[in-house]
């Protein structure tokens, strides 16, 4: 694992959603490092309700991609936004991969008995993605996979323990080229006096 001397603010401001990766494996020790970092995220009542489903097998990743695409496409049909039309076109291409050929998928799961599991796991996901940025690994939250992963039977088939829900399907890999910074929209701030 590469050590980083990057400032945390620099890491926050330079993290991008990476969708193009080098054909280079991520070492298990680096994945363990990212998961360890995720475990330092805050959680309600300190329940730490997360579990991490790690998928490196290429065939399993492609099979999951096909399942996710079939689940998502009907929900996007009829949406007229240009972005959605382009994404639908991508999804319908034979051989397209919803996980962009990333070497690793990590699905963060939340214990359904923890009241704040979704929020806690979302913070763990962000922490994990920032840790990845700090050691030169790119990441992206694949929101399009969310619909299919709501199916508890599917989750259990791919290895999730009983009693857990999906929260964050993340991909990780070494970035191929530069990822352009998207336009930043100034947040709306309401000061209560």
Instruction: Compute the distance between CA of residue 82 and CA of residue 77 in angstroms, rounded to an integer.
Output: 12
Query: What percent of the chain lies above the pLDDT cut of 70?
Result: 97
DSSP 8-state symbol, 94: T
Count of structural domains, the chain: 1
Quick check: 169 pLDDT over 60?
yes
Is 114 or 8 the better-scoring residue by pLDDT?
Answer: 114
Structure tokens at 91: 């999804």
| Residue 61 confidence (pLDDT) above 80 | yes
**CA 46 to CA 50: how far, in whole Å?**
11
Asked if the model's pLDDT at residue 5 lies above 80, the reply is no
As beta bridge partners, residue 164 has 111
Domain assignment of residue 120, yes or no: yes
Domain around 40: 8-173
Residue 160 lies in a domain: yes
Is there a domain that residue 75 lies in? Answer: yes
User: Is 182 within the bounds of a domain?
Assistant: no
And the tokens for 37?
Answer: 């970092």
* Residue 50 pLDDT: 98
In a domain, 1, yes or no: no
Q: How far is CA 70 from the centre of its chain?
A: 19
Instruction: Work out the average pLDDT over 15-33.
Output: 95
The strands making up 164-173's β-sheet, listed across from edge to edge, are: 50-55, 104-111, 164-173, 138-141
- What pLDDT sits at residue 6? 64
* Residue 156 pLDDT: 93
């Amino acid at each position: 694992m590469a050590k980083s001397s990057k400032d945390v603010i620099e890491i926050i401001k330079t993290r991008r959603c990476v969708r193009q990766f080098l054909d280079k494996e991520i070492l298990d020790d680096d994945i363990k490092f990212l998961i360890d970092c995720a475990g330092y995220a805050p959680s309600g009542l300190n329940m730490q309700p997360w579990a991490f489903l790690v998928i490196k097998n290429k065939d399993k990743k492609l099979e999951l991609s096909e399942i996710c695409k079939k689940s998502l496409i009907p929900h996007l049909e009829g949406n007229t936004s240009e972005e959605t039309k382009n994404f639908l076109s991508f999804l319908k291409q034979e051989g397209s991969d919803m996980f962009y050929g990333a070497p690793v998928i990590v699905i963060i799961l939340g214990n359904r008995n923890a009241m704040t599991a979704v929020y806690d796991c979302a913070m763990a996901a962000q922490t994990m993605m920032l840790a990845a940025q700090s050691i030169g690994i790119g990441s992206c939250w694949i929101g399009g996979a969310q619909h299919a992963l709501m199916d508890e039977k599917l989750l259990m088939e791919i290895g999730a323990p009983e009693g857990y829900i999906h929260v964050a399907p993340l991909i990780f890999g070494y970035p191929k080229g530069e990822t352009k910074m998207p336009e930043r929209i100034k947040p709306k701030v309401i000061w209560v006096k």
